[in-house]
Amino acid sequence: MKEIVLITGAGGFVARELSKKIEQQYTVRFLTRNKKQANEFEWDVKKGTIDESAFDNISHIIHLAGANISEKRWTDERKKELISSRVDSAKLLLNTLQKKNIKLKSFISASGINFYGTTTTEKIYTENDQPGNDFLSEVVVLWEKSADEFQEQNLAERVVKIRTAIVLSEKEGALKKMMPPIQLGIGSPLGSGRQYMPWIHIKDICSVYEFALQNPNIQGVYNASSPQHTTNENFTKKTAEVLKKPLFMPNVPTFVLKILFGELADALLEGSRASSQKIQDAGFQFKFPDLKQALEDLLKK
């Protein structure tokens, strides 16, 4: 009998790619707002409702649910949604496990590299570093705290938190948003362009989750960010190079981004490096550690 893995955040591209990767070894179920397939089960975090049959005989939960950080301006309402979609969703899972008296083998939660704060410094952050003091780091601290509850309440043998960098995919996410202006020859770095931009290939982030799932000795927090660091300017240039497009526009001024995006602009204009040495020391190997190689794999199709 295959072990059953329940994945939240079924609408996201990481969940879809991950399920394809692990479906040979595991029986995959999804929690979603709108059930379409036989292996999907409905839940509504705002209403606090969930189809409890999704939990029958499960061994693992991979918690990927969470509203998109960069999709909308950070109004007070949006900020609440960004936290609630991560924290309240975890609470609903936890309450259901308690009610059904289930103990998981593992609870594996997405987390964010923004834990360390939205700043551009020469420091390379490791998992031992303290959180930053801005809104995004607050979101991640609460997110991780909600994951730790599963072990504290004895509902999971282990908890793993994956502090994820910007996931590169040609289908969705940051790279897809950056491509159209570059393809039109009007792409340009943001602000100074010197801010670091932690990144990871979609195949590598799915492999990180698979690695965490398959290795019982993996627990606690891990940075999931490519070992090769890059700045926003270098990332933009490399993308243009791979697409064989010129890049001659001036940088997008900071004040323009602040007008367009408000407080969210800080997440675009600042960024630090994070070390992935811990997960590599545990035995994980990146398939796409090099930015140009990663972009060629995604864009030359």
Nearest-5° angle of CA 298, CA 269, CA 69? 65
Strand bridging mode 166-168 / 199-201: parallel
Model confidence pLDDT, tens digit, residues 150-173: 999 999 999 999 999 989 988 877
Higher pLDDT: 262 or 116? It is 116
The pLDDT value given to residue 285: 97
The position carrying tokens 């009998």 is 1
Do 45 and 88 form a contact (C-beta atoms < 8 A)? yes
- How many domains does the structure of the chain reveal? 1
Rounded Cα distance between 149 and 156, Å, is 9
Mean pLDDT of 117-139: 89
Model confidence pLDDT, tens digit, residues 8-62: 998 888 999 999 999 999 999 999 988 888 899 999 999 999 999 999 999 999 9
The pLDDT value given to residue 209: 97
The pLDDT value given to residue 39: 93
Structure tokens belonging to residue 218: 């993996």
Rounded Cα distance between 37 and 293, Å, is 35
Residue 82 lies in a domain: yes
Rounded Cα distance between 83 and 94, Å, is 16
Model confidence pLDDT, tens digit, residues 288-297: 999 999 999 9
Residue 200 lies in a domain: yes
The pLDDT value given to residue 71: 78
Residue 295 lies in a domain: yes
Q: What CATH number did the domain enclosing 127 receive?
A: 3.40.50.720
Scored b (16 or more CB within 10 A) or e, 74-111 reads: beeebeebbbbbbbbbbebbbebbeeeebebebbbbbb
Domain that holds residue 162: 4-232+263-299
The pLDDT value given to residue 260: 65
Residue 108 lies in a domain: yes
Residue 250 lies in a domain: no
Residue 14 lies in a domain: yes
Do 276 and 226 form a contact (C-beta atoms < 8 A)? yes
Do 90 and 45 form a contact (C-beta atoms < 8 A)? no
Residue 272 lies in a domain: yes
